[in-house]
Amino acid sequence: MIKSLRRTLGMYKKYRARLVISQVLVLISATAVIGVASLNQQLINEGIETGNVDVILSTGLWMFVLALVSGLCLSGTAYLAVFFSQGTGYFIRSYLYRKIQTFSFGNYDRFRTGDMLVRLNADVVNVQNALLYMTLLLLYAPFMLLVTYILTIINTPSLIWVLVLVTVIVLGVMAILIPQVFKAYDQRQQRLDDMNNTMQENLAGVRVVKAFVREDYEVERFDRRTNALRKPAYTAAVRVAFLAPMLTGITQLGIVLSLWIGGQQVLEGSGLNVGELVTFTQYLSLVVAPLAMLAIVFPFMLRGDASASRIFEVYDDEPVVQDKEGVVPPDAETVGGRVVFDNVSFAFRRPDGELDPPVLKNINLTIEPGEQVGFLGATGAGKSALVNLIPRFYDVTEGRITIDDVDVRDVPQDNLREIVGIALQEAVLFQGDLRFNLKFGAPQVEDDVMFEAAKAADSYGFVTNIPQQWEAPVAQRGANFSGGQRQRLSITRALTTQPKVIILDDSTSALDASTEGRVQEAIPDFTNNITTLYVAQRISAVIDLDKIVLLENGEIVAMGNHEELLESSPLYQDIYESQLGSGITAGLDVEVAK
């Protein structure tokens, strides 16, 4: 039981000694509390009843000292428990994040970004809380219960059934109420997630909302979410708030019952005295509080265990793509950039480890150094999957890919990604400034290289028009730049690393045709003999390239330059006709005729 949570206990070895000390303090504190209650008997029987002032004073002093010891020990426990739980939380959070940084694309396919964020935050907090309560109560409550029962059996055996009755009632009530509280909290959490998602969507798409004047609609939508949230929030709040008065009421009724039963025994002179009776009522109070706390904390521990299990699921996952041992990095300067796909097939892997149907089948392709090649095809044809195999974002399922006759799996990933640069479909920029973003892959390069890359990617002009130029601030995800600007900056970033092979994965989709053309013309001038691979859905993006590879359902169905394909491939002709139409066809015909 709580196997995952127990595993977290051993993770943070630095504070293990403090954990042990905290538990010793817990036991001292509990003993002192029971001591104070037990001294009531002496105070009443030997002090108040007999009018012995010395006994009253000495007992009172002992009670004060014990109460002080208990308070100090409990404070010490709280201090150590907070350090232990937060320290473990810190450890888990930072190491989990570090582990995530070793992941490949395949791991991210398995654990989505939002999912990982929940594990890094909410799940870590759940584990922290569970550890905190475990440290504080897991030993305290059972110890208190055990000692109180033993003392009751020794001192007031005739009232033990009252203690049992109150224990059973408290546990019964908690057993009914606590699941209701957690059910309400779970529903509240779900509604809260819905509300947060609506908020997140609104914030992410705030420009669209404003552009289409949909603010009122959004407000109404959000209002529905908060309304849905209120009901479970109300149920949870009532249950939680009523818990304390109910336990107080049960305790008081238990005390009254023991006074009625025990009081009659005292009045009848059947063995019980006033001191014993008062002490018993104290024990009754001592039993209820830890019992209630334990009942409250137990579901927290279950929840913490579930969260710990989710955390370890990520923590124990291994990067899908790893470097082979002993691979020797090639000299990047001497790499020519000849890329060969040798009978390559590829399938994505499902979370259970099984392969999905292949998205690439028997790909054979040779790309010569300096060649400009375009990959064209419909959505899902396998274009991005194909180019993602070159820098080993994924590994091939069958066959091999070589660069200058060296299998990419025999090249360390660090070196491979120096050789192969990529501007991804989604042009993500990070918060910081432009210089930081543009040199993200190669912080050491001279500014001149960045300037030249910016000129090739057609971003130099708009950057130099910004007053702060290369120091201009970049908001999170580059939200303060337009889509086209972000794409050009993304291409600049890819070029700044001066790769031998550059992949533009649909990264010119937001550019107009003339800008796209300028970028295509400028890239070969930026680095001599650079191999350039374009992934595109628009035929205009690849029309002027040396070679166009036409993909359909994961297979190469045609290959050649524009004119060759127009002549030989019916699919290419269809795409061409649908995208550019007969007007341009006519023009090209004239050119071809010339």
* Region from 260-268, 302-310, 343-351, 447-455 binding other proteins, contact rule CB under 8 A: 260-268
Interaction between residue 444 and other proteins (CB under 8 A): no
Shortest distance (Å) from residue 475 CB to other proteins = 5
Q: Please list, in sequence order, all residues whose beta carbon lies within 8 angstroms of the beta carbon of residue 511, skipping any fewer than 6 positions away.
A: 458, 484, 487, 488, 519
Interaction between residue 100 and other proteins (CB under 8 A): yes
CB count within 10 Å of CB 54 equals 9
Shortest distance (Å) from residue 330 CB to other proteins = 16
User: DSSP states of 159-216 as a string?
Assistant: GHHHHHHHHHHHHHHHHHHHHHHHHHHHHHHHHHHHHHHHHHHHHHTHHHHHHTT-HH
Interaction between residue 245 and other proteins (CB under 8 A): yes
List the beta bridge partners of residue 474.
432
Closest to 364 measured CA to CA, from 333, 410, 401, 406:
401
Binding track over 178-197 against other proteins, x by CB under 8 A: --------------x--xx-
Interaction between residue 324 and other proteins (CB under 8 A): no
* Region from 241-249, 449-457, 553-561, 567-575 binding other proteins, contact rule CB under 8 A: 241-249
Shortest distance (Å) from residue 525 CB to other proteins = 23
Cβ–Cβ under 8 Å, residues 163 and 261? no
151 versus 278: smaller Cβ distance to other proteins: 278
User: DSSP states of 489-521 as a string?
Assistant: HHHHHHHHT--SEEEEESTTTTS-HHHHHHHHH
Interaction between residue 322 and other proteins (CB under 8 A): no
Cβ–Cβ under 8 Å, residues 524 and 330? no
Shortest distance (Å) from residue 429 CB to other proteins = 8
Residue spans of alpha helices (H) in 101-159: 105-110, 113-118, 124-137, 140-155
Indicate which single residue of 60, 64, 190, 223 sits in contact with other proteins (rule: CB under 8 A): 223
Footprint of other proteins on 378-437 (CB under 8 A): 391, 393, 413-414, 417-418, 422, 424, 426, 428, 430-431
Cβ–Cβ under 8 Å, residues 511 and 348? no
Shortest distance (Å) from residue 455 CB to other proteins = 20
Exposure string over 431-469, b if 16+ CB within 10 A, otherwise e: eeebbebbbbbbeeeeeebbbbbbbbbbbbeebeeeeee
Cβ–Cβ under 8 Å, residues 386 and 538? no
Shortest distance (Å) from residue 176 CB to other proteins = 14
Indicate which single residue of 299, 441, 517, 560 sits in contact with other proteins (rule: CB under 8 A): 441
Interaction between residue 173 and other proteins (CB under 8 A): no
How many Å apart are CA 286 and CA 30, to the nearest integer? 10
Interaction between residue 267 and other proteins (CB under 8 A): yes
Tell me the torsion sign for CA atoms 508, 510, 513, 519.
Answer: negative
Q: Are strands 531-536 and 473-474 parallel, antiparallel or unpaired?
A: unpaired
Shortest distance (Å) from residue 554 CB to other proteins = 21
Indicate which single residue of 17, 24, 219, 355 sits in contact with other proteins (rule: CB under 8 A): 219
Shortest distance (Å) from residue 340 CB to other proteins = 21
* Region from 142-150, 246-254, 322-330, 362-370 binding other proteins, contact rule CB under 8 A: 246-254
Interaction between residue 13 and other proteins (CB under 8 A): no
78 versus 559: smaller Cβ distance to other proteins: 78
How many angstroms separate the Cα of 430 from the Cα of each of 94, 97, 435, 436? 20, 18, 11, 9
* Region from 229-237, 299-307, 322-330, 512-520 binding other proteins, contact rule CB under 8 A: 229-237
Binding track over 118-137 against other proteins, x by CB under 8 A: --xx----------x-----
How many Å apart are CA 209 and CA 217, to the nearest integer? 9
Closest to 126 measured CA to CA, from 180, 186, 76, 174:
186
Residue spans of alpha helices (H) in 353-427: 383-388, 413-419
Closest to 103 measured CA to CA, from 371, 343, 313:
313
Q: What residue type is assigned to position 169 of the chain?
A: I
Indicate which single residue of 364, 482, 579, 582 sits in contact with other proteins (rule: CB under 8 A): 482
Task: Please tell me the count of residues contacting other proteins according to CB under 8 A.
Answer: 109
* Region from 28-36, 76-84, 159-167, 289-297 binding other proteins, contact rule CB under 8 A: 76-84
* Dihedral of the alpha carbons of 429, 318, 499, 397, in degrees to the nearest 10: -120
What is the layout of strands, in order, in the sheet containing 406-407? 360-367, 339-346, 398-403, 406-407
Footprint of other proteins on 502-561 (CB under 8 A): none
Binding track over 273-292 against other proteins, x by CB under 8 A: -x--xx--x-----------
Shortest distance (Å) from residue 366 CB to other proteins = 24
37 versus 539: smaller Cβ distance to other proteins: 37
Footprint of other proteins on 453-472 (CB under 8 A): 466-468, 472
How many Å apart are CA 403 and CA 416, to the nearest integer? 9
Binding track over 130-169 against other proteins, x by CB under 8 A: --x-------------------------------------
How many angstroms separate the Cα of 524 from the Cα of each of 60, 295, 531? 92, 70, 8
Shortest distance (Å) from residue 440 CB to other proteins = 5
Binding track over 39-68 against other proteins, x by CB under 8 A: ----------x-------------------
Indicate which single residue of 175, 208, 355, 592 sits in contact with other proteins (rule: CB under 8 A): 208
Interaction between residue 75 and other proteins (CB under 8 A): yes
